[in-house]
């Protein structure tokens, strides 16, 4: 994966990009709350042999420029769309972790023609626990399930973002009622959770799947909340299988439509 910088609305956006041939399908990885694309690398590197993989740092986070104000959810999705324009991506499969899932859902509603399918890994915020104390307690319970090397990466990302931006982003995540948007997300979607994930319990994951028009659920044994870092091989495998299955379905549907007009 190589670093790349792109100007979007006068701001420099950093991304990590694979060197896969240009004709491969595109997968865009969307990072979670306050962190950057750095913790997406284990999954990105496993997907790179088969796909053109991009992992951007959204404005305000990671190595990207920091706008004066913290971007709201619609602004983050619009920045992501403009970044796709700038780097020449017309449509993509999007894979996000945690708050990254909220960004993808918002993106699918605002820019439905730019997303082919979605992988929502650990989608937040569980509507049954939409308070800071509840989320904090769940994250504490999740900590032992994650790889120890992830903590320094996250701490550095939080330091880069700063206290004010970090707290405002947390407020944005908590106030987003994702359950009201899911029924309008009309793209094939794979919801993935770690079996031991306390942040996204099985009940909430199943509720997300039931709210989506076209979704399925994959549960990774033994995994916590951040499978893209702690269980990248398993996440890459289910993602690959999902893309191939939905691509085959799309091809068969196109053949049927063509034959029905003969």
Q: Give the pLDDT of the chain (262 residues) as one tens digit per residue.
A: 899 999 999 999 999 999 877 789 999 999 999 999 999 999 999 999 999 999 999 999 999 999 999 999 999 999 999 999 999 999 999 999 999 999 999 999 999 999 999 999 999 999 999 999 999 999 999 999 999 999 999 999 999 999 999 999 999 999 999 999 999 999 999 999 999 999 999 999 999 999 999 999 999 999 999 999 999 999 999 999 999 998 865 544 444 343 434 3
Q: What is the pTM of this model?
A: 0.93
Walk me through the domains of the chain, giving residue ranges and CATH numbers.
2-260 (3.40.50.1820)
Q: Do 35 and 226 touch, CB atoms closer than 8 A?
A: no
Query: How many whole angstroms separate alpha carbon 80 and alpha carbon 74?
Result: 10
Secondary structure (DSSP) of 99-157: HHHHHHHHHHHH-GGGEEEEEEES----GGG-SHHHHHHHHHHHGGGS-TTHHHHHHHH
């Amino acid at each position: 994966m190589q670093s790349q910088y792109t100007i979007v609305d006068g701001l420099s956006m950093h991304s990590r990009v694979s060197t896969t041939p240009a004709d491969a399908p595109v997968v865009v990885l969307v990072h979670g709350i306050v962190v950057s694309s750095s913790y997406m690398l284990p999954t990105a590197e496993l997907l790179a042999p088969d796909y053109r993989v991009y992992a951007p740092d959204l404005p305000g986070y990671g190595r990207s420029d920091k706008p004066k104000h913290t971007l709201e959810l619609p602004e983050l999705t619009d920045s992501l769309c403009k970044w796709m324009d700038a780097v020449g991506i017309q449509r993509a499969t999007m894979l996000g972790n945690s708050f990254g899932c909220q960004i993808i859902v918002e993106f699918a509603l605002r820019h439905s023609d730019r997303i082919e399918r979605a992988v929502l890994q650990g989608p937040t915020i569980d509507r049954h626990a939409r308070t800071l104390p509840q989320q904090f307690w769940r994250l504490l319970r999740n900590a032992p399930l994650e790889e120890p090397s992830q903590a320094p990466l996250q701490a550095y990302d939080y330091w880069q973002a700063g206290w004010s931006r970090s707290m405002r982003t947390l407020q944005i995540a908590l106030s987003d009622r994702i359950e009201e948007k899911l029924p309008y997300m009309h793209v094939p979607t794979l919801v993935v959770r770690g079996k031991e994930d306390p942040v996204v319990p099985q009940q909430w994951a199943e509720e997300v799947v039931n709210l989506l028009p076209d979704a399925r659920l994959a549960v990774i044994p033994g995994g916590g909340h951040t499978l893209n870092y702690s269980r990248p091989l398993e996440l890459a495998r289910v993602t690959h299988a999902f893309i191939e299955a939905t691509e085959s379905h799309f091809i068969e549907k196109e053949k049927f439509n063509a034959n029905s007009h003969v």
